[in-house]
């Protein structure tokens, strides 16, 4: 099972040359971002009064900031932790405005380009040719992830079956890995998707890690063996394939899909506001230029439609829906679009509590958990609520590390710890599902 390991180390003299060569060739490396983030800053603000909240909303429109947290300016209220990414040109004016208005702020990232170039969230040196030595501790481009899926499909046909559920807006295949022992005709299943939002690279990294762990440990780990014997896992490592590809080649902080709009120059729809559940209500925007644009109609995005169709078709045996996002360190469950309590609350709540406890047991990382509307904010038209409303009793959304120090630029050195702890939470939820609700 060598392909599950890390690349061999190269002779020392070879490294500088190799590094230089890779820096030049690397798709999505800083040269392709054309130094566009030089001097950009990420600033954290927490409005303390209504006046400050109003001022922050004004800033958002005036300075054209890229909001990292929360996802929409409509969520900014007193006490809301607000992280904004602002260009070098606008940052001077913004900082002057904040000082003038006496609004406290903290600079989280001083120069975004430098953080990118320090390999904090861009591919570091690696052996790009060999799939047999695939490195799970670096971020991978869409092409690499899809080659990896093909490779596993060939080499692990007893446990893995790869198939496509359709095509993206730009015509890319939407690939799924079906993982599990072919033991009996009817088996319950768990759906997992990563990368609904393009810039959240730790998501796809976790989906790959999950597959790696399953293949590496199912012989030695009783829990994993039980999971693969009694369940199928449908895993979609990259949901928003077009957006993810674009975040590697053009804009590291792209969030949406890449569909075109006939009336506006702005592209893309928030694939997590495009589902047919209280569509385009609170927490979603009707404006195509906004990051939380809900789309012209529910399931307008081919990626959303394909997944929704697949889940509808298999809803009788899919018992859990798990979606992986970043960043906030939270484990969320329905409802997101309203404050009401779900019918099987005690069951889902206890699964969440145990999962978060297991997650914190390795590195002491704390996750908040609870209904999304109360724990995060009210948002309509998202996949978790839709899955729950369509009969999948366990629906969860993970917001992985961190809480803003790196934000979307979680360094590659944190892939292993993040995935290790998340793995425990996922196994916990899955085992809970197998035991059935008390």
User: Coil, strand or helix: which one is 304?
Assistant: helix
Tell me which residue of 104, 110, 51, 115 sits closest to 86, measured CA to CA.
110
Angle between helices 415-435 and 222-230 (to 10 degrees): 60
Number of neighbouring beta carbons within 10 Å of residue 38:
16
| Burial degree of 336 (CB within 10 A; 0-12, 13-18, 19+) | buried
> Does 117 qualify as catalytic in the annotation?
no
The residues with which 324 forms a beta bridge, in sequence order, are 194, 398
Residue 367 · residue 356 · CB < 8 Å: yes
Residue 398 — left, alpha, or beta (φ > 0 → left; ψ -120 to 50 → alpha)? Answer: beta
* Dihedral (Cα; 385, 290, 204, 244), 10-degree rounding: 140
Q: How far apart are CA 225 and CA 185, in angstroms?
A: 18
Where does residue 8 rank: exposed (0-12), middle (13-18), buried (19+ CB within 10 A)? exposed
What gap in Å lies between CA 409 and CA 5, rounded to an integer? Answer: 24
| In the block, residue with structure tokens 């469950």 | 333
Q: Catalytic: which of 299, 399, 412, 421?
A: 399
Residue listed under structure tokens 């109003």: 54
Beta-bridge partners for 41: 86
Torsion sign, CA atoms 248, 251, 256, 258: negative
Spatial separation of the C-alpha atoms in residues 277 and 337, rounded to whole Å: 8
Give the CA angle between residues 217, 365, 272 to the nearest 5°. Answer: 80
| Active-site residue list | 399
């Amino acid at each position: 099972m060598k392909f599950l390991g890390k690349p061999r180390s190269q002779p020392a003299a070879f490294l500088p040359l190799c590094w230089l060569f890779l820096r030049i060739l690397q798709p999505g490396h800083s040269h392709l971002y054309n130094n566009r983030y030089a001097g950009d800053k990420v600033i954290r603000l927490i409005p303390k009064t209504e006046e400050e909240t109003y001022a922050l909303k004004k800033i958002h429109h005036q300075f054209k900031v890229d909001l990292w947290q929360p996802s929409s300016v409509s969520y900014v209220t007193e006490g809301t932790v607000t992280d904004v990414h602002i260009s070098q040109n606008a940052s001077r004016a913004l900082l002057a405005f904040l000082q003038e208005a006496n609004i406290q702020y903290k600079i989280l990232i001083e120069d975004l380009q430098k953080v990118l170039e320090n390999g904090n969230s861009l591919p570091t040196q690696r052996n790009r040719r060999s799939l047999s030595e695939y490195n799970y501790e670096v971020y991978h481009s869409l092409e690499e992830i899809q080659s990896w899926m093909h490779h596993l499909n060939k080499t692990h046909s007893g446990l893995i079956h790869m198939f496509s559920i359709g095509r993206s807006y730009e015509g890319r295949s939407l690939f799924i890995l079906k993982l599990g022992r072919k033991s009996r005709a009817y088996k319950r299943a768990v759906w997992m998707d990563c990368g609904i939002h393009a810039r959240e690279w730790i998501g796809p990294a976790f989906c790959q890690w999950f597959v790696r762990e399953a293949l590496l440990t199912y012989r030695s780990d009783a829990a994993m063996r039980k999971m693969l014997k009694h369940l199928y896992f449908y895993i979609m490592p990259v949901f928003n394939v077009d957006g993810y590809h674009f975040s590697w080649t053009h804009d590291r902080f792209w969030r949406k899909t890449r569909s075109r709009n006939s009336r506006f120059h702005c592209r893309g729809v928030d694939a997590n506001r495009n589902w047919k559940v209280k569509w385009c209500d609170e927490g979603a925007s009707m404006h195509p230029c906004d990051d939380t644009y809900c789309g012209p109609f529910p399931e307008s995005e081919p990626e959303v439609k394909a997944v929704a169709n697949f889940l509808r078709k298999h809803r009788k045996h899919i018992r859990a829906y798990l979606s992986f996002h970043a960043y906030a360190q939270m484990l969320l469950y329905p409802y997101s679009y309203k404050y009401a309590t779900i019918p099987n609350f005690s069951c889902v709540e206890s699964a969440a509590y145990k999962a978060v406890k297991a997650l914190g047991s390795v590195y002491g990382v704390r996750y908040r958990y609870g209904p999304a509307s109360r724990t995060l904010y009210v948002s309509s038209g998202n996949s978790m609520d839709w899955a729950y409303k369509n009969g999948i009793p366990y629906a969860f959304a993970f917001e992985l590390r961190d809480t803003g120090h790196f934000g979307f630029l979680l360094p590659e050195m944190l892939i292993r710890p993040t995935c290790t702890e998340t793995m425990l939470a996922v196994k916990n939820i899955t085992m809970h599902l197998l035991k059935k609700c008390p």
